[in-house]
Amino acid sequence: MLSIKNIETWYDLIRALHGISFEIKQGDIVALLGSNGAGKSTTLKTIMRLLDDDQPEKGTIEFMGKRIDRLDTEEIVRLGISYVPEGREVFPELTVMENILMGAYTRSDRRGVNEDIEAMLRLFPILGKRRDQEAGHLSGGEQQMLAIARALMSRPKLLMLDEPSLGLSPLLTKEIFTIIQDINKQGVTILLVEQNVNMALKYSNFAFLMENGRIVRADKPEVLREDEDVKEFYLGIATEQSVKGYKRYRRKVRFR
């Protein structure tokens, strides 16, 4: 569905993406994981062409067999990709309903838009209760639901989510991921950037691990969960190897 080949993206004189390549199959939930500064958000922005007009500087991006790395963002949305940025970025002074309608700005089928609005209010019942309230007065979790609903109004084939659980409680995080799973079951492919590695691996079908602007691992979640480095550095689990190393260090310090 999405094919990225040898992409290089720069911020002025700093290279953020070092020739990354990966593919996403239709119908999957794919997680893009890594520490802060690894290049995850830059990857999504590069796909959506939200950086400078000459980015990506090298490489190609194809969606459903069509090259998109030189298209305008609006054209990419029309082809079927929607993006929910980190921090949600709803329009705070517009109402919930006005924000949802903003997601349908590329559409002209009024009847279909009205049907999709009702579908969004069924998927996110709390938004129905807040429909006439300004979005800036919503809680963080409600704003995240609103941002996802707005993105879905363009009827995407691929939905890209950047840190959907950022700033949310564990309970709301679980609710958001359950909603993401439900959206996927309705036929929408998901590309997910997420710092909560445990949740991302729990709900995804496949995962890519990024470091310093490069893809360094690609595997199924169950395989990554058992990897010693992933356990220690991303899941916060003290492995047998790391415990032994710590004990050796303590003995060395104690008797120095």
In a domain, 65, yes or no: no
Long-range CB pairs of 228-233, under 8 A, 24+ apart, other chains included:
230/197, 233/35
Mean pLDDT of the chain: 90
Question: In the chain, how many domains are there?
Answer: 1
Residue position matching structure tokens 């998901």: 190
Q: What's the confidence (pLDDT) of residue 253?
A: 45
Q: What single string gives the DSSP state of each residue in 198-221?
A: HHHHHH-SEEEEEETTEEEEEE-H
Distance CA 227, CA 235 (A): 10
pLDDT in tens, 27-45: 999 999 998 889 999 999 9
Is residue 252 pLDDT above 80, yes or no? no
Spatial CB neighbours of 89, under 8 Å, sequence gap ≥ 6: 147
In a domain, 231, yes or no: yes
236: containing domain: 226-256
The bridge status of strand 81-84 relative to strand 158-162 is parallel
Spatial CB neighbours of 21, under 8 Å, sequence gap ≥ 6: 4, 5, 6, 7, 59, 215
Q: What's the confidence (pLDDT) of residue 244?
A: 54
In a domain, 82, yes or no: no
What is this structure's pTM? 0.88
> Whole-angstrom distance between the N-terminal and C-terminal Cα of the chain?
58
In a domain, 235, yes or no: yes
Distance CA 134, CA 45 (A): 27
In a domain, 232, yes or no: yes
Mean pLDDT of 225-254: 62
pLDDT in tens, 64-119: 999 999 999 999 999 999 999 998 789 999 999 999 999 999 888 999 999 999 99
